[in-house]
Amino acid sequence: MKIGVNTWVWTSPFATADLHILAKAKEMGFDVIEIALEDASIIDAGLLRKIADDNGLGVTICGAFGTGRDISSDDEAVRRNGADYIRQGIDFAAKAGSRLFSGPIYSAVGKTRLVSENKRKQEWAWCVDHLRALGPVASDAGITIGVEPLNRFETDMINLAQQAVALVQEVGSPVYKVHLDTFHANIEEKSIPDVIRTLGSGMLGHFHACENDRGTPGTGHIDWIGIRDALREIGYDGAVVIESFTPGTIEIAKAASIWRPLASSQDELARQGAQFLRSLFGS
């Protein structure tokens, strides 16, 4: 199993000046670096790819979906901007040597409302239309797009893996898979191992290994043994990535409600998390 770490553990927004993090991640025992793509214009994708290759690291790309990047928005200009950002993410992923662009691509993080059924259907339709148009773009680039369910406090659109499956099936393109995050699934799903088995290797495209408090994996109450067994049963061969967040950043605090340190240091969170996941899954 390939073990990865998201750059949000250390910094936001990630930029070319932060590429030294890749050597640190390798030294800590990670196989994959996941780049949080807040602003592609401040990251040299070619240099990222070279440094990742030099360190023997795989690369995945995680999107950042603020209010201006919402393909289900009432505002047509915002929908277009969201679609342009996903297209940009696909292009950046290809240039950086990643085969994945993933995240809550369907809406803006923090968009939580009680709306009418007709409005919900319209937002869903806008989302489907844009994702259908983007499917050939991703296919031509050799990029898989992960659809990540978020918990009810961060979105009102897709909270369950089966809702993500419904979206993928309606879009009807094989480039779309489900991106499962244990932090969100711990809130919304009855059983994370059962969800993994239901998705199977054909539908599970990416996996975030997050503790229930977004702290160091292995220090909380997530059913890691059950998750490991389920991932093995379905033959999942993608990355298992720690996603946590550096405290004190205004944008991160707003998006993920990180109000306090989650470990004595971010390096400790990453290092101990890597050790735990390595011991869980084996070398």
Q: What are the catalytic residues?
A: 148, 243
Strand partners, 176: 145
Beta carbons of 220 and 193 less than 8 angstroms apart: no
* CA dist list (Å): 181 to 18, 146, 197, 201: 25, 11, 15, 15
For residues 194 and 191, give the distance between their C-alpha atoms in angstroms, rounded to a whole number: 5
Beta carbons of 37 and 63 less than 8 angstroms apart: yes
For residues 63 and 243, give the distance between their C-alpha atoms in angstroms, rounded to a whole number: 12
For residues 191 and 168, give the distance between their C-alpha atoms in angstroms, rounded to a whole number: 21
